[in-house]
Structure 1
Amino acid sequence: MITDMEILGAWVRGWTVSRATPPPVAEPDGYRVDVGLPGHRVRYLLRSPSAVAARARTAASPGTWLKTCGARGEVVAGLTSEWEVGETEYLMTFEGALPPVSVPSPYAVTVSGDGPVWDVAVSCAGAPAARGRVAVASGVAVFDQIETQPQHRRRGLGRVVMHHLSAAAAAESSALLASEAGRGLYGALGWRVESEVVPAHVPEGAS
């Protein structure tokens, strides 16, 4: 089981494995990931809104991202004008294995990878319909990049992807970061919200 103090760290360690970035660096207020991509140079994961004001002042460089656990109003209050705030996300956990589901016709499932990263792809007549990835770090399965193509939604493919990812990872504890739409799907599967997460970034070209 993931303890409360370990949830953010468990998620970020798995996220860095999934995205093939350098490992996270522990900071007094959370974690830093040196992503190194255009528009996404560095990412800070903060444990609470109390750390936001200091980071907003000292880390407000273009391509910097903050993701902060806590209530949206408290996080936004600590940000300066350079930061653009995104939609609230949800840090969620699950214990055990997800239940099996049947694959609806005419879809087919492909699982690839041999650890610590696995990919699941659902196709229809050879065309992509849904996908997802799971990465295992420190014994925790972190689900990432879960997506269903618009024309294939509301057919249970999200559940199919999640089950096959869970089976591939075979971990006792799991974590993910969900959008508002994803929270409903994962909640119906038994996932629990541990914290709201408020994303913000300084876009390239900001001064």
Structure 2
Amino acid sequence: MSFRNTAEAVEAWVEGWAVSRGAAEPVPSPWGFTIDVGLPQHVMRHVLTTADETTVRKITENATAPAVWLKAFVPPETLTPWLASGWSVSGGPSSLMSAPLRASRTVVPAGYRLRTWSRAGVTRTLVRTADGAFAARGQIAVTGSTAVVDQVETDPAHQRRGLGRLVMATLADAAAGQAATVGVLGATLEGRALYERVGWRVLAPLTSAVRGPGPVEA
């Protein structure tokens, strides 16, 4: 299975991300979705399935509270001039990516231990060293036939040892075991290299913007 178009992939990403983070149910609108996240530095987010200057300008002018985020599937240089005062692009260029999910054998590198568990619709995997120190992690939320990979991280001291590949294979295996056939994720520029090596492909550019704290200077 693959997504018929980017809009379908975005909807799957929004739904799975909300499950992964324990956020509120996404609320649809003509331009996309709004999700109440409820964290001090991430109160809510707007995800635009289609972005244009008029829509972005209206949303960012109306959202004046700090820690409101916006996600749009356009490059940073396109989004930046559309933002109202007080908003800024955050995190650099990212990508929406997808791949088919298949079960596969995973081999844990020598000197590491792997633990995987599921709760409330989310499967998490954790890689630790032999003495118990953190090495890598990731999680995946299954929503029907699709699944969202989220929060994949490898400690810098343990990079280039196959742990990112191990995490991705473990998550894909867990999702495939729950009848998910296609995965989607939001990738940073650094993460994109790993995901491409294990068979993921870019569907669209992804840019994040956030409303900063405090009064806006004239």
Task: Calculate the TM-score normalised by the size of structure 2.
Answer: 0.90
2:162 — aligned with what? 156
Q: 2:204 aligns with which of 176, 180, 195?
A: 195
Counting matched residue pairs gives 207
| Counterparts in 2 of 1:45 and 1:54: CA distance versus 1, 3 Å | same
| Counterparts in 2 of 1:114 and 1:60: CA distance versus 1, 3 Å | closer
1:126 — aligned with what? 132
Give the aligned CA root-mean-square deviation in angstroms: 1.5
1:72 deviates by 2.1
1:143 — aligned with what? 149
Q: In the alignment, is the contact (CA less than 8 A) between 1:41 and 1:64 conserved in 2?
A: yes
Match status 1:30 vs 2:32: yes
| Aligned residue type for 2:108 | V
Aligned equivalents of 1:147 and 1:129: distance in 2? 8
Gaps of 5+ in 2: none
Quote the sequence identity (%).
Answer: 38
2:181 — aligned with what? 172
Aligned equivalents of 1:119 and 1:180: distance in 2? 23
Query: For each residue in 1:9-52, what CA deviation from the matched residue of structure 2 results, as whole angstroms up to 9, or x when unmatched?
Result: 10010000011111111111111001121121110001233031
1:112 — aligned with what? 117
1:45 — aligned with what? 47
Gaps of 5+ in 1: none
Query: For each residue in 1:106-125, what CA deviation from the matched residue of structure 2 results, as whole angstroms up to 9, or x when unmatched?
Result: 11110111562100000102
Query: For each residue in 1:101-154, what CA deviation from the matched residue of structure 2 results, as whole angstroms up to 9, or x when unmatched?
Result: 421101111011156210000010211100000001132110000000110011
Greater shift in the superposed pair: 197-206 or 27-36: 197-206
Greater shift in the superposed pair: 182-191 or 56-65: 56-65
Task: Calculate the TM-score normalised by the size of structure 1.
Answer: 0.94
Aligned equivalents of 1:144 and 1:129: distance in 2? 16
- What SS does structure 1 have at the residue aligned with 2:160? coil
1:56 — aligned with what? 60
Match status 1:97 vs 2:93: no
Q: In the alignment, is the contact (CA less than 8 A) between 2:115 and 2:126 conserved in 1?
A: yes
1:99 deviates by 4.4
Greater shift in the superposed pair: 193-202 or 94-103: 94-103
Aligned equivalents of 1:162 and 1:6: distance in 2? 22
| Counterparts in 2 of 1:61 and 1:114: CA distance versus 1, 3 Å | closer
Aligned equivalents of 1:138 and 1:14: distance in 2? 10
